[in-house]
């Protein structure tokens, strides 16, 4: 009888030990998964050559890209959300006159700024966008406000700015965005009756974007731009359009596009990335290669994108000679590049 009782006690103890070990392993797995995070940014794609950019200008771009991605990475490392990381990174790029977003954005035919931005979170598919605003210092901030507090997805022009005032945003004068380089560019374009100034690389690109995966397993994507130099008629490109310039879905990926907006709209590039992954079973890299190197060229579109899947794997594809870009993983491994 004693032997039977001892055997029962031994079995009970073994079951308890195994259960504890299993719980510990499950906890460790969850903790490990929760710690995975990643971030990538772009500053626009276009046909560029090294000889068009001085060494000092290249270093200036790399320094600003590094500053922006490190700001987003720090938020993710401290268990901030992907949306917060995207916002922080894009804010820095919007505040730099190096890029075609926020301060220093290209100007329209009337020599005025018209800014666009969008944001999307992968968990809920919530999204927000603004188009044609000219008094919002950081358009990505207003896009987030539209997503969270407007009940709509996209607001444009004066209505978007009225909403901004109601939400406590401080408007800035249009002169805040205008730089000497951008004035020269738009005046030269008007003189030559061209949409862009062909001999100045800084006026060919500069749309900024960010994708991120946070510790909670949630994806987010955001994009901000000034559009096309010398644009007319209230032209709006792909950047503020959910599914064209920006898309995020936890099932698949987060995407921010940069390139020929008219073609990216027709190809619904950002959503196409997600659809190729969800329905065709492609990896994020395979989907990016198909969209950028096969589908867009067939339409006549040039440019690039950054994309991240729900495991933090990154693709940064472009069919031009260069794209300002950077990536950083949870271990702090940083890559910053301009040319192919």
Q: Which candidate, 288, 299, 315, places its Cα nearest to that of 264?
A: 299
Within 8 A by CB and 6+ apart from 247, the residues are: 120, 221, 253, 254, 255, 270, 271, 273, 274
What would the two tokens of residue 242 be?
A: 């959910």
CB atoms within 10 A of CB 193: 7
Distance, in Å, from the CA atom of 113 to the CA atom of 104, rounded to the nearest integer, reads: 9
Beta strand pairing call for 38-46 and 208-213: antiparallel
Beta bridge partners of 306: 256, 316
Instruction: Please tell me which residue in 23, 124, 179, 207 is annotated as part of the active site.
Output: 207
For this structure, is 207 an active site residue? yes
What backbone phi and psi angles, to 5 degrees, belong to 338?
A: -120, -55
In angstroms, the Cα distances linking 54 to 62, 64, 96, 97 are 12, 16, 18, 17
Compute the radius of gyration of the chain from its Cα atoms. Answer: 23
d(CA 277, CA 295): 15
Active site residues: 207
């Amino acid at each position: 009888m004693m032997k039977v009782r001892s055997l029962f006690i031994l079995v009970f103890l073994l079951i308890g030990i195994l259960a504890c070990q299993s719980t510990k392993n499950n906890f460790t797995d969850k903790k490990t998964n929760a710690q995975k995070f990643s971030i990538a940014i772009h500053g626009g794609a276009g046909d560029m050559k090294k000889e068009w950019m001085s060494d000092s200008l290249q270093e200036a771009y790399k320094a600003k890209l590094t500053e922006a991605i490190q700001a987003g990475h720090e938020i993710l490392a401290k268990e901030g959300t992907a949306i917060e990381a995207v916002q922080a990174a894009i804010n820095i790029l919007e505040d730099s006159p190096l890029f075609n977003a926020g301060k220093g954005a290209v100007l329209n035919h009337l020599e005025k700024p018209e800014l666009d931005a969008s944001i999307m979170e992968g968990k809920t598919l919530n999204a927000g966008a603004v188009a044609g605003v000219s008094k919002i210092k950081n358009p990505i901030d207003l896009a987030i406000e539209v997503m969270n507090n407007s009940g709509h997805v996209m607001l444009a022009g004066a209505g978007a700015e009225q909403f901004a005032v109601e939400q406590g945003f401080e408007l800035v004068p249009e002169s805040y965005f205008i730089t000497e380089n951008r004035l020269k560019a738009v005046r030269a374009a008007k003189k030559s009756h061209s949409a862009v100034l062909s001999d100045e690389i800084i006026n060919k690109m500069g749309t900024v974007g960010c994708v991120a995966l946070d510790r909670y397993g949630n994806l987010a994507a955001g994009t901000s731009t000034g559009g096309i130099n010398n644009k007319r008629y209230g032209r709006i490109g792909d950047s503020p359009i959910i599914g064209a310039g920006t898309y995020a879905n936890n099932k698949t990926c987060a995407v921010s596009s940069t390139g020929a907006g008219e073609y990216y709209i027709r190809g619904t590039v950002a959503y196409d990335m997600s659809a190729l992954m969800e329905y065709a079973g492609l990896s994020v890299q395979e989907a990016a290669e198909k969209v950028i190197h096969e589908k867009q060229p067939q339409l006549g579109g040039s440019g690039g994108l950054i994309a991240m899947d729900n495991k933090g794997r990154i693709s940064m594809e472009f069919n031009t000679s260069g794209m300002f870009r950077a990536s950083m993983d949870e271990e702090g491994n940083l890559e910053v590049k301009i040319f192919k």
